[in-house]
Structure 1
């Protein structure tokens, strides 16, 4: 699935953050990506162009195009930095036929998911309510019913249960509270984003919301030390996934670090 977000942030906190958002609207952001959706420094060697457009300081849309100008996908978000989808996601085949349609509400699938073959024939139909699938059907290219199979399988981390909590705990174990931040009593939550490639490698680590340069840098260093994942799947094929993890730095008598909970979305 494209742009699916598993979000574990408290809804009340999110509403408060949105209502308190500053009026300044970030400018249109244009990026170029290769065939594996890695961000490039220029259009040289690029296969896609991504445009991120904000409606306000946090919400907006992400539109992706082939370099020919043909549309590839579009997605609406209520909180872009935290990858919280809200609205419609759609993608298209190379021949211009609709490939995917998905409805999201506050980061959860809520409504329909429809996938199509390049011929226009329906491939998969699912219904969702509050992120839970309530119905699902699969079809052949000739329109004949198929046994239902899961569309998306998240990457699995090779520790604990391999889930989002295992990722957060693995990051926490690798972090050393920076002495300067500890001495100054600096605490806070760092949001770090990274990609798990279709081969399972951790790449493109970046801080999307920081606290202090020392804490931000330590968080990035810890994420870069994560082990390789078992790759995630989409419709049976390995795909890259993007994770956003809130890591909370909290000072106690033992100077412990407490991690938040991760959210994830296919990188394309």
Structure 2
């Protein structure tokens, strides 16, 4: 099974960056090492990230290796680079499409597709509002196969650079206690925020996973969003990948 994407990219309004094309000329260029740490120059860098504004008021992140090959392209609906919206793509260094996924309002929606180097489909996974509904996997010859499970031994999960204990303290200090009534006998409330940590070690999306109420939720999102550049990305087989991380934001009444 082979699929080809240039026509779909043009239909989606997203420019295609192919093998050998130069990165867009823009001052918003940064270099990162394999741990997602931002560097002051390309010395020791593994990736180059170029951010290009779009006419609709959003932006496109393009991630290059040091040889100039575009490895990934991610569209955002906002200038802050938090809400993914549109067709995101990954390429092999040789230029063939490695994967495509569609976002709507910051959530995976529709079919995620992964490919072998020769263009044969490796996996098809269907999402609805960020939730995986079904998945099919294929051998290189196109025959259906059992989908592999994650190998936790080859995975290092995303983490806060300064450590979990420091994260809890910094969140606690940043929370502005709201003058809102708590349930009788309550010793406090907890909002849980799910944040997407990108391969650049920054938070690109935040959404409330466990809600207390609109005002508490807004304050929790504000606190977590201010921590957007202090993360190590998740590593899979020593390659940085995007992932979600849960942050607890506690509202404890003053004694």
Q: Which residue of 2 aligns with 1:134?
A: 133
Query: Root-mean-square deviation (CA), in Å?
Result: 4.9
CA distance in 1, matches of 2:76, 2:58: 5
Q: Deviations over 1:206-259 (max 9, x none)?
A: 9x9xxxxxxx8xx86xx89xxx99x665xxx465446677886968433xxxxx
CA distance in 2, matches of 1:76, 1:52: 10
Greater length-normalized contact order (CA 8 Å, ≥ 6 residues apart): 1
Q: Is the 8 A contact 2:53 2:60 kept in 1?
A: yes
CA distance in 2, matches of 1:37, 1:204: 5
TM-score by length of 2: 0.54
Q: Deviations over 1:85-139 (max 9, x none)?
A: 1111101002111001000011111111110111211110112221222331111
What are the within-5 Å matches in structure 2 for residues 220-239 of structure 1? 233=236, 237=237, 239=239
Work out whether 1:99 is the aligned partner of 2:98.
Answer: yes
Q: Which ranges in structure 1 are unaligned for 5 or more consecutive residues?
A: 1-26, 159-166, 183-190, 198-202, 209-215, 255-268
- Distance of aligned partners of 1:232 and 1:96 in 2 relative to their CA distance in 1, 3 Å threshold: closer
Q: Which residue of 2 aligns with 1:51?
A: 50
CA distance in 1, matches of 2:27, 2:88: 19
Deviation at 1:80, TM superposition (A): 5.4
Q: Is the 8 A contact 1:90 1:100 kept in 2?
A: yes
What are the within-5 Å matches in structure 2 for residues 205-220 of structure 1? none
Q: Is the 8 A contact 1:123 1:141 kept in 2?
A: yes
Q: Is the 8 A contact 2:158 2:245 kept in 1?
A: no
Secondary structure in structure 2 of the residue aligned to 1:42: coil
Deviation at 1:43, TM superposition (A): 1.3
Q: Which ranges in structure 2 are unaligned for 5 or more consecutive residues?
A: 1-25, 178-192, 206-222
Report how many residues are paired. Answer: 190
What are the within-5 Å matches in structure 2 for residues 243-258 of structure 1? 252-254=253-255
Work out whether 1:69 is the aligned partner of 2:65.
Answer: no
Deviation at 1:66, TM superposition (A): 2.1
CA distance in 2, matches of 1:94, 1:47: 13
Q: Which residue of 2 aligns with 1:261?
A: none
Q: Which residue of 1 aligns with 2:182?
A: none
CA distance in 2, matches of 1:124, 1:204: 26
